[in-house]
Amino acid sequence: MDTQNCFHCGLDIVAEAEIIFDEKTFCCAGCKTVYEIFSLNDLTSYYDFEKSPGATPQDIKGKYDFLENESIVSKLLEFQEETTAIVSLSIPHIHCSSCIWILENLQRLQEGINVSQVNFPDKKVRINYNPQIVSLSKIAYLLSSIGYEPYISLENYESGTQNVDRSLTYKLGVAFFCFGNIMLLSFPEYFEVKEFWLDNYKPFFRWLIFALSLPSFLYSASGYYVSAYKSIKSRMLNIDIPIALGIIIFFIRSTVDIVMDYGSGFFDSLTGLVFFMLLGKMFQIKTYSFLSFERDFKSYFPVAVTRINTDASEESVAVYDIKKGDRLLIRNQELIPVDGILISETAAIDYSFVTGEFIPINKNSGDKVFAGGKQIGKVIEMEVLFSVSQSYLTQLWSNDVFQKNVEQKHKSITDSISRYFTPILLLIAFAGFGYWIFKDVNTAFNVFTAVLIVACPCALALTAPFTLGNVLRIVGKQKFYLKNALVIEQLAKVDTIVFDKTGTITTNKKSNISYEGKPLSETNLIRIKSVLRGSNHPLSRMLYDFLPDMGRVNISDFEEITGKGIQSKVVESFVRIGSAAFTGKTEENTALQTSVHIQMNDEYYGKYVFKNQYREGLEELFKSLDSHYQIKVLSGDNAGEKAALEQLLPKSTELVFNQKPEQKLEFIKQLQDSGKNVMMVGDGLNDAGALAQSNVGISISENVNVFSPACDAILEATQFQKLHYFLKLSKKAMLVIKMSFGLSLLYNVVGLTFAITGNLQPLIAAIIMPLSTVTIVSFVTVMSNYYARKLEVRS
Amino acid sequence: MSVIYLLITISIFVAVGFFVAFVIAVKSGQYDDDYTPSVRMLFDDEISKNRTQNSEGKEQNAEV
């Protein structure tokens, strides 16, 4: 075995294909070419930052021709003027510092590029170029030629530039500014030295503090007022009502205090409270900007395709302009954007985006081809049957699930607690007021306001954001990416789990291969393996990896026939590998299985049968889930694997086959109507409806940067067996929140005893408030980390 | 005596100055990408070293 790695891309080098150039070894001509481009332009520092950082450039002839079309380009650009244009391109391959370096030195590779800047977390490069010197399509080809193929999809075409919402950052900045300065200016009051000199300045300090608290009170806390108002209007008592009430009472009481010269007011605690709560909000938001949880078919469909006009001329047209009856040209690796009829003789179409099944399906002239498939092999022609929005797959997105606002489908734990908290709080406040009013009117008002101030559920409101924010980060490190913190609460409530089959519980990486037929001698095996080397078909690659390495013989007259198979002369024999018809085998009932047939010297030998390989740890996962959850498996395929699945999975697992995308959605809906909390685990675009309908939709992805349908969480395929651990952790997170609620209520009781007796001094408030915040935050962080570790050890 | 008015006013102005600087920084998008600049910062030396080598470097390359 050769252990040498390619200098450019780091892949193993097959000895015969090795290319030595400039004293360096390369695995293929593509990698060598990239190195040549770099070395000609003095850009070899690329290889200094990271070892073999590159990617092999793909053959993409003609793929970006649509970028010559002015109207398409203008939709993609962020900014356009006569001599300057700015475009942001998403490049999935960006992964290391070498990538940043080379992409920020593009101006040295191509005249006309002014500046390029990489945003690493977003995996985007922003290019400022002169459209009179260089065109966008030229830039796209340049990027592809050095292995950084840009990803241009229908989504870019529609949305254009988005504005970033930075208001929380501003609010936090304002709150911190006010809080810090007020704290400093409050010090003389804390010590209450009865000194003449300081007493003289009291009014000045107090009014300055008052002025400083205004931005925090009016701007930073504004979100709470809006939310409280909305929740009153919709008659749902959420936690923001007591918070907003507390803040307003805080402010009024403090203002009255300094106007009437009763005391210094509670401005320090007020601004501190606003600051800490905003901090909690910030902490809860952990965005994975390189991931997208909102993807629909638009993220994957191309912007434009090639149309063949009646006069046989070719033209790039935007996908939305395709009409019924048009003839389209689909190249290798291009996505079919609409349903249609195949005109070319044969085609091999990979539907992995849609179904998760990655082995191409062969189609013949006159067959129907569906949108979402990817052509593998040579160029094909097709006639359009439906426009984009009316195609089989895209119709799914017209379902109501995608229209409604999903925000409201769940009530958070904090809100359910505050439903009891708010009335009790008001009851205590009025009771205190009623008790004192007969003794001393002044104290009565003091007690009333003090109760609302002290009981302001700051600690309560901080509990959930900090616990969930922390858990979000813990699972994020283990490659389970959640859309937001609410998903954890929903995970804890799940009682039914529905799995998709292909691509979700099976893996694309490996396949179970078995041989049926006449025994093959060792020499024949060597011959077959040698022929397979030349083919890039996924089945050939898998079979090649499956066959033992025993040596190699030279082959000649190699030919790959799309949709049929490969054939070649090996020494004195002629080998054909491919479909049944191709190898002279009369067709039997093979619809239920994927197989590759072998024929040598016109003699049929046998076939290799490919069975789905289930993910590692699947059996154990299902076994451990079985006692806690109802499990169902939903598949778009036929029932061919039923027996194997029944053997592998626990008996209570329900198996449903032949499900169309809409039926999957309907299936989930029915479960929910019968009172279940459903978690859907899927992977392809055909699961998109079910993922959106379910309470928690998790998408399994082999490569999180490239593909995943819209969902609540993305799980990297390698972490699949940890699913139960994540579910357990979410339950523990809820337990931590409940414990912490108990703790913060304890603080409230202590504070209330001060308040109800009329003894709440500003200093006491200023101590209790940060103290409770700090203990709550550290308690939940320590506890959630503890549970995360404990559960991991056990599982 | 009145020096305290002056000092406090100055200190508030300084604080406001920093606050304005913060707002400008956020507005210009400095906080949107907090990773790439940390890497980019280390490149500068590399590039200038390259440029100085360029004039002689090309001939050397040709020989190789």
Higher per-residue confidence, A582 vs A144: A144
User: Quick check: B58 and A39 CB within 8 A?
Assistant: no
Q: Which residues of A touch B8 (CB under 8 A)?
A: 185, 204, 208
Q: Which domain holds residue B9?
A: 3-63
Predicted confidence (pLDDT) per residue in A85-134, tens digit: 888 888 878 888 888 888 888 888 888 888 888 888 778 888 888 888 88
Q: Give the mean pLDDT of A362-390.
A: 82
pLDDT for A61 equals 67
Domain boundary among A614, A649, A664: A614
User: Quick check: A177 and B19 CB within 8 A?
Assistant: yes
pLDDT for A408 equals 47
pLDDT band (50, 70, 90) for residue A586? low
Q: Which residues of B touch A195 (CB under 8 A)?
A: none
**Total domains present in chain B:** 1
User: Which residue in the block uniquely carries the two structure tokens 């009530």?
Assistant: A411
**Domain-embedded: residue A10:** no
A124, A90 Cβ separation under 8 angstroms: yes
**Domain-embedded: residue A525:** yes
Percent of chain A having pLDDT more than 70?
89
Q: Looking at the predicted structure, is the pLDDT value of residue A430 above 80?
A: yes
ipTM entry? 0.73
pLDDT for A171 equals 92
Predicted confidence (pLDDT) per residue in A659-699, tens digit: 888 888 888 889 888 888 899 998 877 788 888 888 888 88
pLDDT for A431 equals 87
Does residue B54 belong to the interface with chain A, where contact is any CB pair within 8 Å?
yes
B1, B2, B32, B45: which to substitute to probe chain A, counting the most A Cβ within 10 Å?
B32
User: Quick check: B46 and A48 CB within 8 A?
Assistant: yes
Q: Looking at the predicted structure, is the pLDDT value of residue A704 above 80?
A: no
Q: Looking at the predicted structure, is the pLDDT value of residue A335 above 50?
A: yes
Predicted confidence (pLDDT) per residue in A638-649, tens digit: 777 777 788 888
Same domain assignment for residues A604 and A628: no
pLDDT for A1 equals 38
pLDDT for A193 equals 64
Q: Nearest CA of chain A to the CA of B23: how many Å?
A: 7
Same domain assignment for residues A597 and A627: no
User: Quick check: A169 and B58 CB within 8 A?
Assistant: no
Q: Looking at the predicted structure, is the pLDDT value of residue A162 above 60?
A: no
In what side-by-side order are the strands of the sheet with A346-350? A361-364, A346-350, A374-376
Q: Give the mean pLDDT of A708-730.
A: 85
Same domain assignment for residues A534 and A579: yes
- E strands, A544-658, are 555-561, 565-570, 573-578, 594-600, 603-614, 630-634, 654-656
Nearest Cβ partner for B39 among A100, A170, A181: A100
pLDDT for A675 equals 86
Domain boundary among A159, A187, A216: A159
A564, A579 Cβ separation under 8 angstroms: yes
**Domain-embedded: residue A576:** yes
User: Quick check: B42 and A120 CB within 8 A?
Assistant: no
List all residues 6 or more positions away from A409 whose beta carbon is below 8 Å from its beta carbon: A695
pLDDT for B13 equals 92
Does residue B45 belong to the interface with chain A, where contact is any CB pair within 8 Å?
no
Same domain assignment for residues A705 and A692: yes
- Which of A729, A281, A731 minimizes the C-alpha distance to A476? A729
Question: Which token pair is A188?
Answer: 């003389």
Predicted confidence (pLDDT) per residue in A243-302, tens digit: 888 889 889 988 988 888 877 788 888 898 899 889 888 888 766 666 667 666 776 777
Same domain assignment for residues A553 and A528: yes
Percent of chain A having pLDDT more than 90?
7
Q: Give the mean pLDDT of A64-76.
A: 79
Question: Which token pair is A533?
Answer: 């080397």
**Total domains present in chain A:** 4
Q: Nearest CA of chain A to the CA of B38: how many Å?
A: 10
pLDDT for A600 equals 81
Q: Which residues of B touch A116 (CB under 8 A)?
A: none
Domain boundary among A550, A579, A614: A614
**Domain-embedded: residue A232:** no
- Which of A691, A695, A687 minimizes the C-alpha distance to A730? A695
Q: Nearest CA of chain A to the CA of B28: how many Å?
A: 11
Instruction: Quickly count: other Cβ atoms within 10 Å of residue A553's Cβ.
Output: 12
pLDDT for B20 equals 93
- Which of A368, A328, A372 minimizes the C-alpha distance to A350? A372
Query: Domain with A364 in it: what CATH number?
Result: 2.70.150.10
Q: Whole-angstrom Cα distance, residue B13 to residue A175?
A: 17
Same domain assignment for residues A551 and A693: no
Residues of A contacting chain B (CB within 8 angstroms): 22, 39, 42, 45, 48, 97, 100-101, 104-105, 117-122, 164, 166, 169-170, 173-174, 177, 180-181, 185, 201, 204, 208
A506, A615 Cβ separation under 8 angstroms: yes
List all residues 6 or more positions away from A559 whose beta carbon is below 8 Å from its beta carbon: A566, A567, A568
Higher per-residue confidence, A384 vs A701: A384
A176, A275 Cβ separation under 8 angstroms: yes
- Which of A271, A279, A267, A329 minimizes the C-alpha distance to A302? A329
pLDDT band (50, 70, 90) for residue A310? confident
Which stretch of A218-227, A260-269, A297-306, A521-530 has the lowest confidence by average pLDDT?
A297-306
Question: Judging by DSSP bridges, how do beta strands A480-482 and A368-369 pair with one another?
Answer: unpaired
Nearest Cβ partner for A164 among B32, B36, B54: B32
Q: Is A513 helix (H, G, I), strand (E, B) or coil?
A: strand
Same domain assignment for residues A491 and A516: no
Q: Looking at the predicted structure, is the pLDDT value of residue A489 above 80?
A: yes
Predicted confidence (pLDDT) per residue in A433-456, tens digit: 888 888 888 778 878 887 877 776
User: Quick check: A39 and B31 CB within 8 A?
Assistant: no
Q: Which domain holds residue A517?
A: 507-614
Q: Which residues of B touch A39 (CB under 8 A)?
A: 61
User: Quick check: A45 and B29 CB within 8 A?
Assistant: no
Question: Judging by DSSP bridges, how do beta strands A573-578 and A565-570 pair with one another?
Answer: antiparallel
For B53, the closest chain A residue by CA position comes to: A42
Same domain assignment for residues A72 and A150: yes
Q: Which residues of B touch A204 (CB under 8 A)?
A: 5, 8
- E strands, B1-64, are none
Same domain assignment for residues A596 and A681: no
The DSSP 8-state label assigned to residue A411 in this structure reads -
Q: Which residues of A touch B39 (CB under 8 A)?
A: 97, 100, 120
List all residues 6 or more positions away from A477 whose beta carbon is below 8 Å from its beta carbon: none
Q: What is the mean pLDDT of chain A?
A: 80
A6, A46 Cβ separation under 8 angstroms: no
Query: Domain with A144 in it: what CATH number?
Result: 3.30.70.100
Q: Give the mean pLDDT of A722-733.
A: 91
Higher per-residue confidence, A566 vs A218: A218
Q: Is A551 helix (H, G, I), strand (E, B) or coil?
A: coil
For B41, the closest chain A residue by CA position comes to: A101
pLDDT band (50, 70, 90) for residue B35? confident
Strand partners, A566: A560, A577
Higher per-residue confidence, A59 vs B60: A59
Nearest Cβ partner for A121 among B33, B50, B57: B33
Same domain assignment for residues A608 and A626: no
Does residue B7 belong to the interface with chain A, where contact is any CB pair within 8 Å?
no
